[in-house]
Amino acid sequence: MEKLVLISVLLGLVCGSDVIDLSGGLFEAEISQHDLMLVEFFAPWCGHCKRLAPEYETAATTLKRNDPPVPLAKVDCTDDAGGKDTCSKYGVSGYPTLKIFRNGDFSSEYDGPRSADGIVSTMKKQSGPMAKEVSDVKSLQKILDNAQQPVVVGFFSKEGKEKENLVKAASNLFTNYKVVYSLSEEVNKEFGHTHAVVLFRPVHLNNKFEDNKVEMSAAITRANIEKFAGDNSMGLCGHMTPDNQDLFKKPQVVAYYKVDYKQNPKGTNYYRNRVMKVAKNYKDEGLTFAIASKSDFSGVLESMDIKSDDDVKVVAWQSNGEKFKMEEAFTNDGKALDAFVKKFLAGEIKPFIKSEPAPASNDGPVKVVVGSTFNDIVKDDTKDVLIEFYAPWCGHCKSLEPKYTELGEKLKDVEHVVIAKMDATANDSPAEYAVSGFPTIYWAPMGSKSDPKKYQGGREVDDFIKFIKKESTKPVNVGKKKKSKTDEL
């Protein structure tokens, strides 16, 4: 084992890189030697991977000097010597993919910044103690009084498996929760818990509609702790921010207004209490309620034509990403909100779709799609559709445009194939057509409109034609027009 680790280190030295290359058969042996490791799964031809490489290298050099050191590694997913198998084992489907490993086991996806400074900052946080011990009543009370995020507390009488399970769970929870534990009889007695995991919500969110703490009833396992925290962290109506918005499960109802717990906590809670009065009636409906500051989500509101005035605005979100705007004015008695929620749950409200005006003429080789025509064009089940999502400012999109137009010209006589494009910055598309960068291209054949295939091939005209011929529902003949009688004469 020591020889394997030494070989990997020597390889890094020979190549002059502080990133450990684990593309061969050394992966499992190497990661098991480290408490914490960040691994990049990449492909040599990937443009995003090439842009990440110098940032990743700089971060690796910096983190090598950290106390404790945090090694960074990489795996070439095209490497037949072991890289392909490793990437397959860990479900890598796009490049680059970054994953965090602890003691040889996968811990979590890396979802932090991809700049050198961002990687260093994120991994330094990961390297610190995820769960801290509190040994006296005053220390724990201070943590609870000052917390701006939910606090998960383990009350134990001694070291053991359950305390270790809490520590392991903390590796996934620490970015959004404070995790601490007590082995003190005094602390446990004062707080009235022994052999328990309890979630405390931030003091400023305390309210008359619910208790500010919840005790876990399930067995104290890592999986149960993580689920318990996720299910209970926000209570009846939490405070959504850009940093914690992923904790709020959909479907959800969000009230946007001037939320400010520092300068105006009383005014903030005035409207929150009105929302909670309604929320308590839907506790068993699987619906999440939240308040959020308009300034934090100005982009979302602007995209839905919601003005940044002093009024409370409400938006509901379905699990599939569809959004629904409450057109009625928010009332302090909660009746307007309650009526809106009832209609939302009953499916009686049409979703809001951001859309440019449909073009007056759409006879070109590439069909222009807008939000309001998406279903008519892309989801037309009599057509196979190749749809490009672009941004007007995107250089790659501009480079692709003449080739994409040429593709449309070559296929304009193939009746069952449509080449289309949509400005994704000005129009909404269904959740299954998720746009992660520009350009993003999907193939939506007949019969699979709700399960489109992301195009990952080359971007030359011949690459597209080869792909379409292979994937098309019906045969595709390019450039083979039937001769007319005039041609024959």
Region 439-457 average pLDDT: 96
- CA-to-CA distance for 14 and 61, rounded, in angstroms? 15
Question: Is residue 417 a contact partner of residue 446, using CB atoms and an 8 Å limit?
Answer: no
Q: What is the mean pLDDT of the chain?
A: 91
User: Which single residue is written with the structure tokens 């019906």?
Assistant: 474
pLDDT above 70: residue 485: no
Question: Is residue 389 a contact partner of residue 436, using CB atoms and an 8 Å limit?
Answer: no
49 among known catalytic residues: yes
Whether a cis peptide bond, with omega within 30° of 0, leads into 71 is no
CA nearest neighbour of 42 among 31, 53, 32, 34:
53
Read off φ and ψ for residue 156, nearest 5 degrees.
Answer: -130, 155
pLDDT bracket for residue 482 (50, 70, 90)? very low
pLDDT value at position 478? 85
pLDDT value at position 185? 96
pLDDT bracket for residue 228 (50, 70, 90)? very high
Residue 160's Cβ-side half-sphere holds a number of Cα atoms within 13 Å equal to: 12
- CA-to-CA distance for 158 and 156, rounded, in angstroms? 6
Question: Is residue 48 a contact partner of residue 105, using CB atoms and an 8 Å limit?
Answer: no
pLDDT above 50: residue 11: no
pLDDT above 80: residue 7: no
- CA-to-CA distance for 435 and 388, rounded, in angstroms? 10
Q: Which one-letter DSSP state was computed for residue 372?
A: G
pLDDT above 60: residue 469: yes
The predicted-structure confidence for 347-385, as pLDDT tens digits, reads as follows 999 999 999 999 999 999 999 999 999 999 999 999 999
Residue among 49, 77, 87, 237 flagged as catalytic: 49
pLDDT value at position 454? 95
pLDDT above 50: residue 173: yes
15 among known catalytic residues: no
Burial 216-232 (b: 16+ CB within 10 A, else e): beeebebebbbebbeeb
pLDDT bracket for residue 443 (50, 70, 90)? very high
The predicted-structure confidence for 197-211, as pLDDT tens digits, reads as follows 999 999 999 999 999
The predicted-structure confidence for 146-165, as pLDDT tens digits, reads as follows 999 999 999 999 999 999 99
The predicted-structure confidence for 66-123, as pLDDT tens digits, reads as follows 888 999 999 999 998 889 999 999 999 889 999 999 889 898 899 889 999 999 988 9
pLDDT value at position 14? 42
Residues pairing with 453 in the sheet? 443
The predicted-structure confidence for 271-329, as pLDDT tens digits, reads as follows 999 999 999 999 999 999 999 999 999 988 988 888 777 789 999 999 988 999 999 99
pLDDT above 80: residue 13: no
The secondary structure element, H or E, covering residue 405 is: helix 395-411
pLDDT value at position 480? 53
Residue among 77, 87, 237, 397 flagged as catalytic: 397
In the chain, the percentage of residues whose pLDDT exceeds 90 is: 79
- CA-to-CA distance for 377 and 433, rounded, in angstroms? 14
